[in-house]
A and B are shown apart, each in its own frame.
Chain A
């Protein structure tokens, strides 16, 4: 009892003491103001506010946002694949660049086939990555394979780069018995423990503060790892984005925030999403190093991510990369984007400024890639995707038992009861359930 009173008194004393000293300051100020004898030069006064470090000004002036001429867009090569400033050329080997290209195009091929398969009702849902392949591959290549990835849902290229098998992409979309997620989530909600890619969930931006927490834990492990967290410019409007940015800065986390600014959040254009200079301009407000890059330039993305990764790990501070792109495809298979934007606009980005064609120009200019290579790779990649596609389609769905597991680590008595009740029911009404499609 005694002990606890002491603690309480201590707290009360502290609070009272604080108040008293503030009161004194206040009184002293008033006294000096009334009894001041000597001339006082107010320009020598320095602000003492704990909340900011700044000078006084004697003119009323609101700070104006700079949105007309915003943060510049960093690029390494032009739309024809020419390196603009040789000092910025990452000088990647032919094999590396070929790998970039093949991963981007393989993702594109997979997108086309799965998009069509949804149109035919063979899978329930799909989201393509058209136009954003460069952001995935460029950033993934700049990371260490051990770096933990938190994504939104349009980052399949990161998994592709890390070697996620086509079979598992398909298994997830088909929710078949091979799916690591046990068929519980909608298509494109991929995850891989082995490849350090945290499972995608639908609620937007929730992964942002989570990525910060993981980065904090990783910093404490001292294991030379970083975390990267992807999100769209629409998701950046969520409260969780604010939470994540602010926490990462105050808690000094080795983390890269990677924003894919593709101009749209479903039908909402960016001018209805924000009025500042995009997302990059918010970074400095949180005390965060920030940059804007050309998301259709895989080398610009690579360079920015590489440097952000190096410094994030060395200095334990967050970095923000805003990659400017254009969402060429529909938002998802449940969306027809011609209802809110023109076909001409889409065509410009598809034909004139695409990350895949830009890299192809670069490779062609170096004689690393020919028309023949292109033809045979297209054929080969299509064949690869079709093979796994057909395999995935033939595979049974997971055992319905898996509806009940992993809710908790252990099976609770309540859930066990419900599981048994389902089995009894299904035995009785067999003919009304698609049992033959599921593993036994």
Chain B
């Protein structure tokens, strides 16, 4: 697992290895046909930076991994009990999210654990039970399952089962998440729906650096155990102005990114950027006005914002990278159908990953890209 992970330190951003990582390309001399390589690796989305936030003081240009580091830095500075741990976090992490933190705050606060996910989460729960702030890292969301028992049976139920005598509300679990172009089965997964079925935890996914920092700081401050999934394809690709100081973005609140009147589009993480592009395409090619909503928190999710939008537009498209069966779109879809039955003018559409493991070479065909979403909109409008 760790060996596979190491590949992705450098491979996380295909653009980077082409433009900057000359040494890396030399490793495979057969890749001489650069245009072909580029086409194969072309990102399936275009990152849309957020408007520069003005209300939280000075900002600086950060990509997503740097905004995560910034959030962790703010936390360690303001909370003396806070500790960060996981596999390989001490030297800065395989995605560079913890760079410099150990030097700044000490090795008792930023440290490596043995390679054991159930241990990492169990340990984090214990830190939180003792009243300290625990920020655990699981190296890839794909490797969170060994800790499923600790998350579902323990973390999520700690407060409830003890009658609020004990809790692990100070626990936050961070994990890189989502497809990355070439991550195949175990460096691409989006496991949020597995956790959405578990009362007691919160599951949060940001779409870019500003959201990542604000939502992560909310997760850390929240008095419930939180899982924070970081879209790893955005670690380097997403760059925008992020406030330097600490700020929070509320959990369980979806954000309407673009107002529209004909169709509501709900997504989260990287898929938001696909949605934005699809919304433009729909406007240009079909004259359809799309309302784009970033759900941000998977559990407990913001039913009100989504339903309010669907009452207005009468149509809903939900899209996620994860497989369709049992995916979180199913939950949104059935809830909206229940709440907005009289307003719906077409069946709710789900554009998701197929019900297969996440493939390596077939990734361009697997993901719910803009063309698949565009086609779904066409069908819904003509319904």
Contacts and interface: CB of A to CB of B under 8 A. Distances in A.
**Residue with the greatest number of chain B CB neighbours at <10 A, chosen from A5, A8, A181, A218:** A8
Interface string A232-271: 0000000110111011001100000000000000000000
B240 to A, nearest CB: 11
A209 B118 contact: yes
A5 B16 contact: yes
Nearest to B225: A408
B307 to A, nearest CB: 12
B116 A203 contact: no
Interface residues of B, number: 64
Contacts of B132: 217, 220-221
A236 to B, nearest CB: 15
Contacts of A8: 10, 16, 20-21, 96, 236
A414 interface: yes
**Residue with the greatest number of chain B CB neighbours at <10 A, chosen from A198, A221, A242:** A198
B118 A239 contact: yes
A213 B154 contact: no
Contact of A412 (B116, B121, B300): B300
- Range of interface residues on chain A? 35 or more
Contacts of A211: 126
Contact of B162 (A5, A181, A214, A407): A181
6 contacts: A4-B65, A8-B16, A210-B154, A214-B127, A246-B114, A414-B303
Interface string A310-344: 00000000000000000000000000000000000
B5 to A, nearest CB: 13
Interface stretch (B163-171, B256-264, B343-351): B163-171
B166 A406 contact: no
Contacts of A217: 81, 83, 126-127, 130-132, 134
B9 to A, nearest CB: 6
Interface string B339-382: 00000000000000000000000000000000000000000000
Contact of B149 (A15, A181, A206): A206
Given A150-B126, A246-B116, 7 more contacts: A180-B162, A182-B163, A201-B161, A209-B119, A212-B126, A244-B119, A405-B164
Contact of A216 (B61, B123, B154): B123
A87 interface: no
B239 interface: yes
Interface string A154-192: 000000000000000000000000011110110001011
A70 to B, nearest CB: 27
B66 A4 contact: yes
B284 interface: no
A293 interface: no
Contact of A180 (B122, B149, B163): B163
A99 B126 CA distance: 32
Interface in B147-194: 149-150, 153-154, 157-167, 169
Contact of A206 (B83, B150, B224, B303): B150
A407 B161 contact: no
A141 B280 CA distance: 71
B222 to A, nearest CB: 8
Nearest to A408: B224
A180 B154 contact: no
A187 B146 CA distance: 29
B165 A193 contact: yes
Nearest to A250: B114
B52 interface: no
**Residue with the greatest number of chain A CB neighbours at <10 A, chosen from B126, B166, B223, B236:** B126
A201 B157 contact: yes
A12 interface: yes
B200 interface: yes
